[in-house]
Each structure stands twice: as structure tokens, then as C-alpha cells.
Amino acid sequence: MTPQLSHKQPTAPDGRRYPEIERFLDYLKSQKNVSSHTLTAYRNDLDQFSIFIASHLGIGDMRNFLPEQLAVVDVRLYMGYLLKNGLQPKSIARKLATLKSFYRYLQHIGIIRTSVLAYVTTPKYPRTVPGFLTEQQTEKLFGEVLSGSSADASRSGAQDIQEQFELERDRALLEVLYSCGLRISELTGLEMHNLSLENGYVKITGKGNKQRIVPLGSCAVEALKKYFEVRRNFFRIFLKGDAGALAHVFVTKKGKKIYPMLVQRITRKYLTPVTEQKERNPHILRHSFATHLLNSGADLKSVSEMLGHSSLTTTEIYTHVTFSRLSEVYRKAHPKA
């Protein structure tokens, strides 16, 4: 009987997880330096696959499973099972990518000679265009909205050192997100030694512990300088210490490393007056960074490197706006358009 797909994360019980899965995950962690989130996703995908295969092939103990037992039709039945249970083609494609990676590992260590997954085609799915701010909305965010927050605090008489600390931190945080196109994990993990305000760049540790250097815009540099000045005063008063001793760039009012949920709240707070898009999260500023650069003539390879993408294909999704802009320019300027 085919197992029902649960909304909870699948966990293969003892005997229903193929032992090489644990070794594969250890390999990813130690040799490929993948993030904990990626490891969790891989584990869930492979556990789900193990449970399905154990049921489908009638294997009571997956320690007896032989990877070469798997046929193309079995994989396609698994994909059909996922589709029947409501998964979208994009999610199925991701799970298939996990299986292909696992089978390449099995081939690499000599357990199998060829991978059956090499003969399975990844399902096509429409690539959604990421949300982004227009340049006018960006100007509104960093001008009217953030300046208005400062004025409101002043008028209410509540702009004490704590409120000023949070305001300048939030301003610097948003400037860095937009200036450098960072992922939320890259922002929260940013440490003081990663910054070079004098030279105008920041060193980022991205996915798979890959490092890259990204230019830091002048507005972001000025916002950081002001934030650090306010931060020093704040912690001298409230913690009787010096914020210069804090390792992380962005911290809470308790001096702790800023966390993703707080970054989400900050971006939602300041983006709400700017855009009506449903998603008002830090990734919108990353998308805006890439879109605005390409619209202004930056080459795809440079933008890809700054974003930390491992493939140009991932960056190409941002070219939709560039092409639209070029088409508009062409229609207005070409005599025979």
C-alpha cells in the first residue's frame, strides 16, 4: 500500500532508511560544507523517498535495499505519487535533484556503476518572477519612509537613545541589504571583521561556506558609520560596555546577534508603506539589487558573482525586467520599431 504524504516532515523509522543516506549527509556536511537548512531538506527528501520505496517494492528493512534495484519506472511512479498528493512541479523538481545528487554520490563511492536517475527528466515548471521594488519605491523607502520614522519619533518625544539605536540599526540594515543583495542568513551572520568601510566592501560567507567580496555603496557606508556611533553610546549607557567588543554587525538591544524573525519584522515594517506586494521580506531587497543593476547596464556575470550564485542560469531570471526595458527603449528610439 502506497504511504500517504503527510504535511509533517517525514521521518523514516528504523529499518526504513537506507544506511548510506546518513553517510551521504555526513559527506555533505564535512566535505561540501552545506548549511544546516540544506541538510534538513536533503534528509526529509531522502526519508520520504525511502518510505515510498520500502512500501512500493515491499522491502521490510531498507538495510537490504540495493540501489541498482531502482528502475526509471519506480522513480516516475514516485514523482506521480508526489504530484497526486498535491506537490507542485517546482517542489518535485527539487526532490528529484536531491535523489540525483544522492545517486551521484553512490556512484562516486563505487556502490553503483551507473545512476538510473541520469535517465529521468526533471519536470518543467514556470519560473516565477521574483518581486522587487521599482527605483521610485526604493527612493521612497530610504527617503520619505525612514526619514518620516525619525521625525515621528522626534515629535512624540520618545526618541531616546534606545529608539535612536533601533532606528539607525534598521536604516543601516536596509541599506546593506539593498547595497549588497544579501540573503537573510548572510546578513545575520555578518561580523565586524567582514567590513571594510574605508575601502567600501564587505566579505560575505554564503551557501556552502563560499566567500565573495561585494562592494558597499556610499549610502550604506554612511548609514553604518552613524549606526556604529549610536550603538557605542547605547551600550556604554545601558550595558556599561563598549559595542566595539561585539562581534556581529547587527545586534538586538540586548547586544545579541540579530535573528531572522527580527529582520523579517523590520523589513515588513518599512516596506509596508512602500509596496502593496504580498511578500514584503528581505529577499525583495535582494531582488531589487539585482534588477536595478541589470537595468542600469551591469553584466550578468558580475551580478551573478555579487549574488553568490553558483550558476548564471539562476541569475537569468532577473533579466526579464532588463529585456522589458530594452524593448521599451527600442520601440521609442528605433525609426522602424
Residues involved in catalysis: 183, 207, 283, 286, 309, 318
Residue closest to 67 by CA, chosen among 76, 80, 57, 77: 57
Grid cell listed for 235: 551600550
Neighbours of 238 (CB within 10 A): 14
Grid cell listed for 43: 534528509
Give the SS3 label for residue 323: helix
* d(C-alpha 154, C-alpha 148), whole Å: 10
Q: Is 174 left (phi over 0), alpha (psi -120 to 50) or beta?
A: alpha
Grid cell listed for 241: 560596555
Beta bridge partners of 257: 251
Backbone angles phi, psi at 196, to 5 degrees: -130, 90
